Each structure stands twice: as C-alpha cells, then as structure tokens.
Amino acid sequence: MKRQFSFLITSFLFITSLAYPLIWLWQGQDSPILSYLPFLLALCWGAKAGMQAVGLQRFFAIFMALILLMVGLSRSLETMYWYPIIINGIMLAMFGGSLWQNQTIIERLARLQDPNLPEEGVRYTRKVTQLWCGVFMLNIAISTLLIAAEQFAWWAIYTGVIAYVIMGVVMGGEWLYRKMVIQR
C-alpha cells in the first residue's frame, strides 16, 4: 500500500511539474488552478517526506513542501516561476553530490541490472552522471535567463515542453548508445 501511494505521489508531482508551465501558458497567471497548486504540491511533497528514510531525500522533500507552502501563503504566483529551477537544482545537487560518493546515482541504477558492474561500466556511469549534471545546469541557466528577460511565454514552453524533450533525447540517446555500442 505504501509503495502504491508513493508511486501515486511521485507520478502526480512529475505530471504537475510538466503541466504547471503549460497551464500558466494556456489559462494565464490568473487561473484559479494556479492559486491552489502551491498548496497541493506542498501537501504532496510533505507526504513524500513522510515516506522517505531520514536523509538527503527527506530533507529535499521537506524543503520543497515549505517553499511551496510559503508561495501559497504569500499568494505570489511569480515565485512559482522558480519551481522548475528548484527541481533542477535539487536534481543537480543529488546527481552532482553522488559524484563525490563511492557510487553515483547512475551506477546504483546500473547495479540493479548488473550487481557485478565492471570497472569500465563504473567509469561510464560516472560520465553519464556528469552528462545529467550538465542537462540540469542547462535547464537552470535557460529558465533563469527567460525569467530575467521576462519572456514568460517562452519560459512556459521551455520548462513545460523543451526541457522534457531534451531530457528524453538524453535518456533515449544514452539507452541507444548503451545498446548499440557498449553491449557489443
């Protein structure tokens, strides 16, 4: 039951993160949905924090819940422009932080399929982790520039579509590379 609830919360957070900029683009900043969204997201992040073991992931979930609660209480939807940047920052911190640990996040995922990952596989997973750090930095930089330039329609298109296309291309390209080149 807990696993299913966790999956639902994570799925909702993913879909909402994807949809939020598009809702803003299509319905405008005055959309009633957007005034309730920070509270709903804060509740979901709080529930996620309650399901995490004590550690960095729980800290980030609590941090996100508090930030979103403050956004909702301040009724300042302009601060929601920073939500995708915060998410990318958290991902950058998690992936980048794992570069200073014994195993990177990508290596841990790879070891789920192959517990006896060879040394060249470990080096490869480290490079893939670095690639993802670059993707998160790119998303942060472009989103920040669009906010600073007050190009909010482009911000919505970038954070709601283009950033996810970039991530999909990186994920798909890495999978293809692994299947076609590495496994030969």
| Domain-terminating residue out of 75, 95, 122 | 75
| Domain-terminating residue out of 31, 48, 75 | 75
Question: Would you tell me how many other CB atoms lie within 10 Å of the CB of residue 6?
Answer: 15
Q: Tokens at residue 45, please?
A: 């992040």
Residue pLDDT, tens place only, 76-120: 667 778 888 988 998 899 899 999 999 998 999 888 888 888 888
Is residue 14 scored above 70 in pLDDT? yes
Whether residues 57 and 129 share a domain: the answer is: no
Whether residues 4 and 38 share a domain: the answer is: yes
| 63-86 mean pLDDT | 80
Q: Where are the alpha helices (DSSP H) in the chain?
A: 2-27, 32-51, 56-74, 83-98, 105-113, 119-148, 152-157, 163-177
Whether residues 93 and 169 share a domain: the answer is: yes
Whether residues 181 and 113 share a domain: the answer is: yes
In this prediction, residue 183 carries a pLDDT of: 67
Whether residues 65 and 94 share a domain: the answer is: no
Question: Would you tell me how many other CB atoms lie within 10 Å of the CB of residue 68?
Answer: 24
How many domains is the chain built from? 2
DSSP 8-state code for residue 53: P
- State the residue range of the domain holding 53: 1-75
Confidence band, pLDDT 50/70/90 cuts, at residue 184: low
What does the radius of gyration of the chain's CA atoms come to, in whole angstroms? 18
Whether residues 1 and 44 share a domain: the answer is: yes
Whether residues 17 and 84 share a domain: the answer is: no
The reported pTM is 0.78
Q: Which of 9-13, 15-19, 112-116, 145-149 has the lowest mean pLDDT?
A: 15-19
Q: Tokens at residue 131, please?
A: 């690639």
